[in-house]
Amino acid sequence: MEPGFKEENSREKDAPRQNLAISAYRQLKHDIIRGRYAPEQKLLMSHLKEQYGASTGPLREALSQLVADRLVVAISQRGYRVAPMSLAELNDIYDARAQLEGLILRLAIERGDDDWEATVLATAHRLAKVTDINTPDDLLDLWDQRHKAFHTAIASGCNSPHLLQMRNTLFDQVERYRHLWLQETVMSPQALELKRQEHAALVDVILARDTAEADTLMRDHLMTPVPIITRVLKDRGIS
C-alpha cells in the first residue's frame, strides 16, 4: 500500500529533485521572469553561489533546466546569460500562444464534460470577485493567481496532458514579457472592469459551446497586451 503522493503537482515543470538544485531553479526562474536580471546579463557563478546558497553542481543543473525553458542561453565555454528579449520574439511568442490556446479551447469545448463547465464557472466567479482590495500589490497577486486558475480551468477541458504540458512550457516563456504588461497597467479599475467583461463574454460563449466565437474571443483576449508590451520594449531601446 503506497502512500498516494505520486507527485502530481506539476506546477511549472516537473520537479527533478526536491533538494537544492530544484530550489535554485525555482528562485532563479522567478527572478528572471520578474526582471531582476536584465535580458542579456551575464550570470556569474560566483554571484549565483552566494545568492542562492548552492555550489556549482546544483547550480549547473538549475541552469540546464532554464536553458531547456529558453529563459537562459549557454554559450560554448563562456558561461550563461539571461536569454535576450526582442520584438520579434514577443510577436512570435504571443502568436504561438494564441494559436495553441485557441486549439486547446476548441478541443475543450468539444470534449469538456459537466464537471469542466462547473469548474470554469467556479473559477470565473472567484476571479470576478477580486475587485475591492485596497493594497495594489496584494490585488495584483491575487488577481493574477485567480486569472491563471481561470484560464487553466478552461484549458483543462481538452483532456490532453501533453497539450497542457506544452501550454505550460509556452506560458513560462511568455510570462517574462507578460510581467512587463502587469507592471505597466497598474491594474486600474477600468482595466479591471474591461477584463471582467471579456471574461464574462468568454464564459458565455464557452457554455454555449460556440466554438468559432470562443476561438475569436480568446485570441483577441490574449493578444490585448501586445501593443502595450511593444511600447515598453521600444522605450527600453529593445528592437
Catalog residues that contact DNA under the rule CB under 7 A. 17, 19-21, 42-46, 54-58, 60, 74, 76-80
Closest Cα to residue 208, out of 105, 101, 108, 109? 109
Quick check: 49 and 12 in contact, CB under 8 A? no
Instruction: List the single partner that 114 binds among its own copies, DNA, none, CB under 5 to 8 Å by kind.
Output: none
- Which of 96, 121, 187, 223 lies at the binding interface for its own copies (CB under 8 A)? 96
- Long-range contact list for 112-115, CB < 8 A, 24+ apart? 112/157, 112/158, 112/159, 113/157
Contacts of 218 (CB under 8 A, 6+ apart): 98, 101, 102, 105, 202
Q: Which does 24 bind (CB under 5 to 8 A by kind): DNA, its own copies, none?
A: none
85 binds its own copies (CB under 8 A): no
Which amino acid, residue 124?
A
What is the identity of the amino acid at 101?
E
79 CB neighbour count, 10 Å cutoff: 12
Asked if 53 touches its own copies (CB under 8 A), the answer is no
**135 sits near its own copies (criterion: CB under 8 A):** no
156 binds its own copies (CB under 8 A): no
How far, in Å, CA of 74 to CA of 38, rounded?
16
Nearer to its own copies among residue 103 and residue 139 (C-beta): 103
Q: Which does 232 bind (CB under 5 to 8 A by kind): DNA, its own copies, none?
A: none
Q: Pick what 101 binds: its own copies, DNA, none; C-beta below 5 to 8 Å, kind-dependent.
A: none
Q: Which residues sit at the interface with its own copies, rule CB under 8 A?
A: 7, 13-19, 21, 57, 60-61, 64-65, 67-70, 73-74, 76-77, 92-93, 95-97, 99-100, 103, 107, 160-163, 165-166, 169-170, 173
